[in-house]
């Protein structure tokens, strides 16, 4: 097993740990967040390695990881919304008399989503899928021209350099009003951030700088994408309740989010 495989296997084991933590206590939002982030970290590493891997292997691993992350995605969005609503309530305590009703409502929605996620986890045999991911990573084969350590390191040097330059170019040419473009650039930043963080030490590059710059772009554009997700949730919650006071409060919070 080469160093790249050891990195991949280490990240896969982190997914297993965070998955069991989530199952043991799905009420803890930290476990939800870690499970999603750990799947993204491994996907980021795999994305850097993509052209050195056989297409079928990459698709199989990436799809399995994406499915795990997607299962808890909406639950994580509700947690973020709950945290944001808490900050707004503390900063604007006199804005509404219905904050308590809102937080009871959000708890109810989270409980519903949590139960749905746990059912999906059981139905889709997620634990078995994580076993398969670990097994595949442990026996992963690289394309012949990248099979040697030196060849693989040369590939990583070029790959990370090109992805970094492409990210900077896309960021500088971004249209702040084009949400789809912003979303894609942010996804690329996340992949590069994690890819550089875990594979960069095998290269001659200043991988810490690459990861740091990617993180800055991710955070900056994240303010835009997070606001977009929260606005969608606020619309969803306002539409799903018959309580006029709650509808008014959700729309009021959305106005505050747009003012940021």
Return the bridge partners of 142, or none. 53
Q: Provide the residue count of the chain.
A: 260
Q: What whole-number distance in Å separates Cα of residue 118 and Cα of residue 131? A: 18
- What is the Rg, in whole angstroms, of the alpha carbon atoms belonging to the chain? 21
Distances (CA, A) of 48 to 9, 19, 131, 134, 195: 15, 24, 23, 18, 6
Q: What whole-number distance in Å separates Cα of residue 220 and Cα of residue 54? A: 34
Place of tokens 């990370």: 160
Residue 142's SS3 state is: strand
Domain range list for the chain: 3-259
Question: What pLDDT sits at residue 98?
Answer: 94
pLDDT per position as a tens digit, 6-32: 999 999 999 999 999 999 999 999 999
Structure tokens given for 112? 């519903």
Structure tokens given for 155? 């590939």
Other C-beta atoms closer than 10 Å to the C-beta of 198 total: 21
| Alpha-carbon dihedral sign for residues 247, 251, 256, 260 | positive
Contact 153, 202 (CB under 8 A): yes
Question: What pLDDT sits at residue 204?
Answer: 92
Contact 194, 45 (CB under 8 A): yes
Look at residues 224, 118, 116 and name the one whose alpha carbon lies nearest to residue 171: 224
Q: Dihedral angle at the C-alpha atoms of 187, 192, 195, 199, nearest 10 degrees?
A: 180
| Alpha-carbon dihedral sign for residues 23, 28, 32, 37 | negative
Look at residues 192, 193, 259, 254 and name the one whose alpha carbon lies nearest to residue 229: 254
Is CATH 1.40.20.10 correct for 3-259? yes
Q: What whole-number distance in Å separates Cα of residue 67 and Cα of residue 35? A: 12
- Identify the segments of the chain with pLDDT beneath 70: 1, 257-260
Contact 141, 57 (CB under 8 A): yes
Q: What whole-number distance in Å separates Cα of residue 250 and Cα of residue 48? A: 40
Question: What pLDDT sits at residue 27?
Answer: 97
Question: Does the model's pTM come out above 0.85?
Answer: yes
Look at residues 260, 254, 241, 227 and name the one whose alpha carbon lies nearest to residue 106: 241
Q: What whole-number distance in Å separates Cα of residue 184 and Cα of residue 226? A: 13
């Amino acid at each position: 097993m080469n160093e790249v495989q050891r990195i991949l296997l280490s990240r896969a084991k982190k997914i297993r740990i965070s998955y069991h933590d989530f199952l043991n206590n799905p009420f803890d939002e930290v476990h939800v967040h870690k499970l999603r982030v750990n799947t993204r970290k491994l996907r980021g590493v795999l994305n850097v390695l993509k052209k050195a891997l056989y297409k079928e292997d990459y698709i199989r691993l990436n799809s399995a990881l994406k499915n795990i992350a997607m299962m808890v995605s909406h639950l994580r969005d509700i947690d973020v919304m709950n945290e944001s609503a808490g900050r707004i309530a503390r900063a604007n305590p006199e804005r509404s008399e219905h904050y308590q009703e809102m937080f009871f409502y959000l708890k109810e929605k989270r409980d519903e989503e949590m139960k749905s996620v746990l059912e999906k986890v059981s139905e889709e045999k997620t634990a078995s899928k994580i076993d398969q991911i670990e097994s595949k990573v442990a026996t992963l084969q690289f394309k012949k021209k990248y099979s040697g350590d030196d060849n693989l390191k040369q590939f990583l040097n070029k790959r990370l350099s090109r992805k970094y330059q492409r990210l900077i170019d896309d960021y500088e040419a971004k249209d702040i009003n084009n949400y789809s473009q912003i979303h894609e650039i942010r996804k690329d930043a996340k992949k590069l951030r994690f890819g550089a963080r875990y594979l960069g030490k095998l290269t001659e590059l200043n991988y810490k700088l690459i990861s740091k710059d990617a993180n800055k772009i991710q955070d900056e554009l994240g303010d835009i994408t997070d606001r977009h997700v929260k606005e969608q949730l606020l619309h969803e919650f306002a539409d799903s309740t018959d309580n006029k006071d709650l509808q008014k409060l959700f729309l009021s919070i959305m106005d505050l989010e747009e003012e940021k």
